[in-house]
Amino acid sequence: MKQAPRLTLNIDRFFDPNPAVRRLARLLYNSVRNLPIVSPHGHVDPNIFVENIAFPNPTELFLIPDHYIFRMLYSQGIPMESLGIPPLHGSPTENDARKIWKAFGDHYYLFRGTPTGAWLDHEFSVVFGIKKRFTGATAMEIYEHISEKLQSPKFRPRALFERFNIEVLTTTDAATDTLASHQELRASGWKGNVVPCFRPDSVTNLKTKKWMQNIQLLGARVGKEITSYRSLIEALENRRAFFKTMGAVSTDHGVESPYTRELPHAEAEAIFQRALRGVSTVRDAELFTAHMLMEMARMSIEDGLVMQIHPGSDRNHNQMILEKYGTDKGSDIPLQTEFTRNLKELLNKYGNDPRLTVIVFTLDETTYARELAPLAGHYPAMKLGPAWWFYDSIEGMKRYRSMVTETAGIYNTVGFNDDTRAFVSIPARHDLSRRVDSNYLAGLVARHIVGLDEAKEMIHDLAYGLVKKAYKL
Amino acid sequence: MKQAPRLTLNIDRFFDPNPAVRRLARLLYNSVRNLPIVSPHGHVDPNIFVENIAFPNPTELFLIPDHYIFRMLYSQGIPMESLGIPPLHGSPTENDARKIWKAFGDHYYLFRGTPTGAWLDHEFSVVFGIKKRFTGATAMEIYEHISEKLQSPKFRPRALFERFNIEVLTTTDAATDTLASHQELRASGWKGNVVPCFRPDSVTNLKTKKWMQNIQLLGARVGKEITSYRSLIEALENRRAFFKTMGAVSTDHGVESPYTRELPHAEAEAIFQRALRGVSTVRDAELFTAHMLMEMARMSIEDGLVMQIHPGSDRNHNQMILEKYGTDKGSDIPLQTEFTRNLKELLNKYGNDPRLTVIVFTLDETTYARELAPLAGHYPAMKLGPAWWFYDSIEGMKRYRSMVTETAGIYNTVGFNDDTRAFVSIPARHDLSRRVDSNYLAGLVARHIVGLDEAKEMIHDLAYGLVKKAYKL
Amino acid sequence: MKQAPRLTLNIDRFFDPNPAVRRLARLLYNSVRNLPIVSPHGHVDPNIFVENIAFPNPTELFLIPDHYIFRMLYSQGIPMESLGIPPLHGSPTENDARKIWKAFGDHYYLFRGTPTGAWLDHEFSVVFGIKKRFTGATAMEIYEHISEKLQSPKFRPRALFERFNIEVLTTTDAATDTLASHQELRASGWKGNVVPCFRPDSVTNLKTKKWMQNIQLLGARVGKEITSYRSLIEALENRRAFFKTMGAVSTDHGVESPYTRELPHAEAEAIFQRALRGVSTVRDAELFTAHMLMEMARMSIEDGLVMQIHPGSDRNHNQMILEKYGTDKGSDIPLQTEFTRNLKELLNKYGNDPRLTVIVFTLDETTYARELAPLAGHYPAMKLGPAWWFYDSIEGMKRYRSMVTETAGIYNTVGFNDDTRAFVSIPARHDLSRRVDSNYLAGLVARHIVGLDEAKEMIHDLAYGLVKKAYKL
């Protein structure tokens, strides 16, 4: 085996190779690279900051929780069980973390040209000070290096949070969550600002597995059995108020379609009663979700919580993987999504109201220029979320800026979301976003579309200003 | 307040920063920059050339008629009434033009990176000789500067038309229009070539508000009451002939869907009778529009008028804005559009006929490479309109060329349309288009895809030759 | 007439004009430019290698078989009959090959900026040694030049095959084909590796014209009349086995929609019986095709043939052209295509099976990032075919890499397919693909996304390694 190549992060990485653009991109990037991170949407478990214990090992830190990683390995024929992904029903799985890590190193070349590769290189280099590129040959050396670091107090969750310069981190929490971790965190005296986000999908989506149990749990949380649509609404309002007391500034709605439609009270009640009896139909569920989005917008106008709509994923496309390993295992596949007609009822009723902020995301980038930028460029209440999920990438962000800005400007967008489950990837993701935005603006300056003074204001807004404003932080 | 930045238009604006590409782009652009403007599709009021009086003030010249501008301001929470947009029913509105202009200046940063910003800077600098960038701080000084200019004879509509070097300007006119302005203009002896375009939507779309009145008016125009489908057809043929005598070379059809379908005469008549009785259905209206597109193609073959189809806008998405301010107020939102199947019947019946030219536009750029370029690259009658509306922009045009040229070439496209309501923006829009096309061709030359001699012919065709040929001017 | 411009192929053609990128692109391209050509999917007639006689003349070599060419000429109003395209029913057609060639030369400017133009320039220059650019003025001189070459033994099909350095060439063959040409070729002792591909559309698509005759012919081929669904399945299995003995490694399925659905045996049988009686419905045909894709996947798991799905073309959109000239005459128009839901049943049943390789192509590039890359980036059995048909072009490939790589990597793609009917265009098409991929990777290196050492491995895989692996060659 020849000598392992060095892992180096070029200071101009991701910038256009044109020297004039690159110089401008570097200048703009340097003006924001050290700004605090605002992470208003993600899936980090708040309990890691309560416990604040060392991460067990590199495999459990990087690979197991990150479906961006194991989906790619699985696509190339590496069985899930050999990657240590825990099966639901106790079938055998690899539990030698080192062996899994070696397989990861052997196949790390699969991530060439992917954002996952870019993030991991950043994490290895910047967070852990690794100097060799990750391959099968270097895997075990890197494993030991990271393992040693993880034992140090500097690599405990709270220490990393502070080192990452995170100003605020939002978690995503079910409507039925006690927010016990958030309560403990507040009680602990630690200064890190970690806030919840109210996500009621498991009770508003009648097709959710265990929906009935979720409804019962929700009733338990508010101390009142939910036997009617009206009591559901009251419970949700009650929970939103509680989330607000715990620092929440936003709600999140992961719907398959962004269809919105207000139902007469009697119809909503009838559907809800059918659901309680276990006889609701697919159409019932569609209508109920569409109606609940209307209700959530109404509540947002009343309580000020920023509403986020994340539509368009066919969750758990691979039934075998779902049954064997559960949700969030890399087989959520995007669907074509329609916004102009689907959001019409919500935007007509609430979109002119300045008290509402509704942030819309998409997994269907054909809607950026056709539907979302024209909508966000008109309705005062609507803002456009950043390039999301599969589009949270260098080329994905470039297409987003190219397709959105000319119609909606940058001021109808909301900065960056990392949306990550992998805590250690947060600085890598924000760094990549700041670089790509800097490079985009550098291109505008080099083509004399905006002045450098304007670009400096714009990069500050994209990296920091817009997210703070949109999420009322 | 620090000194206001200078407003300068770089001679290489919008060109690629690569020096080789830029040099070629400049060379190509310089070969066409002074060519006359042919504007075959737009919404300038012909009466301004009849009256030829001074524009009242900057606010009424730039902002009030231009929904590209006020939609962006509205999206950021600035109420329509504070922008002086006249409400339909006499509710209060701001009428201090200076105060509105100041708000515009305060928020001009919203247009950074948008074509509206690029056009306005061109208008300020080239048309009005303004030397400071437009901001809240400079707004009033710029207001006075423009106001003074507007009083000068050089800034009257006809003088500007001549200064802009407009060879022909097409207006858009209802089928029921008397074309009185066009008649007066012809009678005036002024040399400016302003011609009408026949747009029958208000009588062919059964869902049009006031459709019945429009039908009655159409009957009045041709001196024969319209009581049957046959008399409608005769009236339309009659009006087309009249438009031709007034210089018209084209028709325009703003349909929601490009669905085409020929109905048996009896069915068309039956639908029309239902419509006259006020009992036509949504499906009736769809079928009737689909059928009328077929009839319009037939008439175009007979009378030689070039047919334009502009589908895919969900007009007046925001019901409150429609009711309070009327149409064309910035809330027309694009819809996904299908062409392969929808245009099949029309293209099968008439698309092989060399007497027909049907120019198709889209607000759904996903159809450029998938449907429109393959269709235009096969059917002799079909040509592809330029990047339109939200895509009339630097990046929009780049995507258009990238997605269209390889399949349809440039010779199945028709040059540039400005489609503007804002007369003073015409030279800015054509200049931007010439720059972006020059830059596109420079990229082909620099990558050795075409020779410079070929690119010189191509830029002349894109800027001038193709539009003249396509619209038979 | 001024002197004809020289035809030269710049050594850096199609590369980015940025000097750093260009240098890297050239370096990467030079490392693969001389690799053998693997052409796993195309439409070259195998009989040309059996007969191995001289191509008759330039017109019949270049224009007549290539609907990429005559569709563009037709779109500009040049009648098919004047291009010598043979009509089905003996109506008059031009048969002066020189006159047709002259018309081609007169209109060659139409291909500026198209891949067809790039391929033809390559063929003229590299294959035939022509030194002048093709125009009306040079057309006849070039005609004579090529004609003379064609008479030489060096320009016979087998000699060109060898000169082109083709390692393996796959043809496309109906399920009912005797493969007589392939048998003769094998018997001839010639070393050229030409293998068939099993394409059963004409018997699995109930809407195929002459379907009944095809079924009878299929029965004749296997020596057993096909009177039931079960006997159809047996016949198909029998033919696949035969194709394998003739070297086939793959099957191909040209479906309108990629809809997959397994029918109960009784339902499949019932539909098949209705089809035999001539009374099957459109819905029957859709279901049967959907079911046959399931069966083909099952057979592929059993016999190891790689399965290719090519959906999304509305074949023979122009009915007049179909009736007068037959199929494959340039009026196949793409349709919007959906994969997430349509492939769900197939991928759920077979997509986790490592024995299956299913390669999916699209004419709807909006699905690259939204559906196909996420699917290929998860399911072990699924790979993504290259940019296809109208997207087999410089910009088409750039968009493909931009939209696919970040989610699926390059290792879930399968290298290049030329899919050509024009044998002489094969080296031109592979050269263009290698150049565009080299340039893509050069951009990644220049932006420090991958290292040069990684890019060198990647370009080898894209040009040669991936196609060999995916097609098990």
Segments making up each domain of chain A, as ranges? 19-53+159-470, 54-155
Q: What is the DSSP letter of B55?
A: P
The pLDDT, as a whole number, for residue B91 is: 83
Q: Partners of C413 in the beta sheet?
A: C384
Of A114, A133, A394, the CB nearest to C409: A114
**Minimal CA separation from A355 to chain C, in Å:** 33
Q: Does A45 touch chain C (CB under 8 A)?
A: no
Q: Does B462 touch chain C (CB under 8 A)?
A: no
Q: Is the pLDDT of residue C323 over 80?
A: yes
Q: Does A314 touch chain C (CB under 8 A)?
A: yes
pLDDT digits (tens, 9 = 90+) for A54-108: 999 999 999 999 999 999 999 999 999 999 999 998 888 999 999 999 999 999 9
Average pLDDT, chain A: 97
Residue of B nearest to A337 (CA): B336
Q: Which two tokens stand for residue B465?
A: 């030759």
Q: Which two tokens stand for residue C302?
A: 């059993």
Instruction: List chains touching B (3+ CB pairs under 8 A).
Output: A, C
Of A20, A338, A354, the CB nearest to B17: A20
| Percentage, residues of chain C above pLDDT 70 | 99
pLDDT digits (tens, 9 = 90+) for C388-405: 999 999 999 999 999 999
Q: Which two tokens stand for residue A170?
A: 């939002």
DSSP B346-410: HHHHHTT-TT--EEE--S-THHIIIIIHHHHTT-TTEEEPPS-GGG-SHHHHHHHHHHHHHHH-S
SS3 of A231, please?
A: helix
Helix A229-245 vs helix A282-303: crossing angle, to nearest 10: 40
Angle among Cα B150, B155, B160 to the nearest 5 degrees reads 150
DSSP B303-327: H-PEEEE---EETT--HHHHHHH-S
If phi > 0 it is left, if psi is from -120 to 50 it is alpha, else beta; for residue C34 that is: alpha
- Tell me the CATH number for domain A19-53+159-470: 3.20.20.140
pLDDT band (50, 70, 90) for residue C4:
confident
Q: Is the pLDDT of residue C58 over 90?
A: yes
Topology of domain C19-54+155-470 in CATH is: TIM Barrel (3.20.20)
Distance, CA of C162 to CA of C157 (rounded, Å): 9
**Minimal CA separation from B79 to chain A, in Å:** 9
Residue type, B388: W
pLDDT digits (tens, 9 = 90+) for A96-112: 999 999 999 999 999 99
pLDDT digits (tens, 9 = 90+) for C346-392: 999 999 999 999 999 999 999 999 999 999 999 999 999 999 999 99
The pLDDT, as a whole number, for residue B90 is: 83
Q: Which two tokens stand for residue A109?
A: 């070349």
Residue type, C89: H
Q: Name chain A contacts of C340, Cβ cutoff 8 Å.
A: 314, 317, 333-336
Strand A358-360 and strand B306-309: pairing?
A: unpaired
Cα-Cα-Cα-Cα torsion C17, C20, C25, C30, nearest 10 degrees, comes to 120
Of A374, A409, A446, the CB nearest to B113: A409
The pLDDT, as a whole number, for residue A91 is: 83
Q: Name chain A contacts of B118, Cβ cutoff 8 Å.
A: 449
Mean pLDDT of all residues in C167-186: 98
- Picking from A63, A142, A59, A138, the residue whose alpha carbon sits closest to that of residue A99 is A59
DSSP A133-166: --STTTHHHHHHHHHHHHHSGGGSHHHHHHHTTE
Q: Does C22 touch chain A (CB under 8 A)?
A: no
The pLDDT, as a whole number, for residue A240 is: 98
Name the architecture of domain A54-155. Answer: Orthogonal Bundle (1.10)
Distance, CA of A89 to CA of C276 (rounded, Å): 49
Rg of chain C over all Cα atoms, to the nearest angstrom: 23
Query: Is residue A269 classed exposed, middle or buried when 0-12, 13-18 and 19+ CB atoms within 10 A define those classes?
Result: middle
Chain centroid to Cα B369, Å, comes to 22
The pLDDT, as a whole number, for residue B39 is: 98
- Counting one residue from chain A and one from chain C, the pairs whose CB atoms sit within 8 A come to 130
The pLDDT, as a whole number, for residue C248 is: 98
Mean pLDDT of all residues in A325-329: 94
The C173-174 sheet, strands edge to edge: C173-174, C198-199, C250-253, C306-309, C358-360, C382-384
Average pLDDT, chain B: 97
CATH superfamily, domain B19-53+156-470, is Metal-dependent hydrolases (3.20.20.140)
- Test A395 with C374 for CB contact under 8 angstroms: no
Q: What is the DSSP letter of B463?
A: I
Rg of chain A over all Cα atoms, to the nearest angstrom: 23
- Test B21 with C16 for CB contact under 8 angstroms: no
Specify whether the CB–CB gap between A357 and A384 falls below 8 A: no
The pLDDT, as a whole number, for residue C226 is: 98
Q: Which residue has the higher pLDDT, B227 or C209?
A: B227
Q: Does A225 touch chain B (CB under 8 A)?
A: no
Give Cβ neighbours of residue C469 (< 8 Å, ≥ 6 apart).
none
DSSP A236-274: HHHHHHHHHHTT--EEEE--SS----PPPHHHHHHHHHH
pLDDT band (50, 70, 90) for residue A1:
very low
Q: Which two tokens stand for residue A394?
A: 């260098």
Q: Which two tokens stand for residue C282?
A: 């459109």
Residue type, B222: V
- Tell me the CATH number for domain C55-154: 1.10.2020.10
Q: Does C346 touch chain A (CB under 8 A)?
A: no
Q: Does A72 touch chain C (CB under 8 A)?
A: yes
Q: Does B20 touch chain A (CB under 8 A)?
A: no
The pLDDT, as a whole number, for residue C2 is: 59
**Minimal CA separation from C232 to chain A, in Å:** 31
> Residue A19 phi/psi, 5° resolution?
-60, -35
Specify whether the CB–CB gap between B229 and B269 falls below 8 A: yes
Kindly state the helix (H) or strand (E) to which residue A320 belongs, with its residue range.
helix A319-325
Kindly state the helix (H) or strand (E) to which residue B202 belongs, with its residue range.
helix B201-204
DSSP A326-365: -SSSS--EE-----TTTTHHHHHHHTT-TT--EEE--S-T
- The reply to whether the predicted model has a pTM over 0.90 is yes
The pLDDT, as a whole number, for residue A2 is: 59
Q: Does A69 touch chain B (CB under 8 A)?
A: no
Q: Is the pLDDT of residue A32 over 80?
A: yes
Specify whether the CB–CB gap between B92 and A369 falls below 8 A: no
Q: Identical fold at C19-54+155-470 and C55-154?
A: no
Low-confidence ranges of chain B (pLDDT < 70): 1-2
Kindly state the helix (H) or strand (E) to which residue B150 belongs, with its residue range.
helix B139-151
ipTM of this predicted structure: 0.97
The pLDDT, as a whole number, for residue C1 is: 46
Distance, CA of C247 to CA of B64 (rounded, Å): 72
SS3 of C360, please?
A: strand
